[in-house]
Amino acid sequence: MQFMGSYAFIPDETLCVVARPFSGNVVALDTRSFRITHRSVLGGQPLIAVALSNGEIYSRDWKSGGLLKGRLETVS
């Protein structure tokens, strides 16, 4: 069985970011439609994610505790 990591909202609450440790990424959901609109491939196993209003993502790796960082990219 797999599980998702933590979730957080960007400051204006239009996106909710969800850490996905088994996919190696963080996705952002539009809070009105609940559709995935953005993705940030971080590698590792992101468990806790924080999003800044400029699109930067910071996360902690599940196994090592190391810092992972990336940028949200629009999903086409």
pLDDT tens-digit readout, 24-60: 999 999 999 999 999 999 999 999 999 998 989 999 9
With respect to residue 53, please indicate whether it lies within any of the assigned structural domains: yes
Quick one: pLDDT at residue 11? 87
Nearest to 9 by CA among 17, 24, 1: 17
Name the percent of the chain lying above pLDDT 90. 86
- Confidence check: pLDDT of 2 > 90: no
With respect to residue 43, please indicate whether it lies within any of the assigned structural domains: yes
Query: Distance between alpha carbon 1 and the CA centroid of its chain, in Å?
Result: 20
Which residue range(s) make up the domain with 70? 7-74
The answer to whether 19 and 46 are in contact (CB under 8 A) is yes
With respect to residue 2, please indicate whether it lies within any of the assigned structural domains: no
With respect to residue 1, please indicate whether it lies within any of the assigned structural domains: no
CATH code for the domain of 26: 2.40.10
With respect to residue 27, please indicate whether it lies within any of the assigned structural domains: yes
> In total, how many domains does the chain have?
1
With respect to residue 25, please indicate whether it lies within any of the assigned structural domains: yes
With respect to residue 21, please indicate whether it lies within any of the assigned structural domains: yes
DSSP state of 13: S
Model pTM? 0.89
Q: How far is CA 39 from CA 1, 14, 24, 27, 64, in A?
A: 23, 15, 11, 4, 22
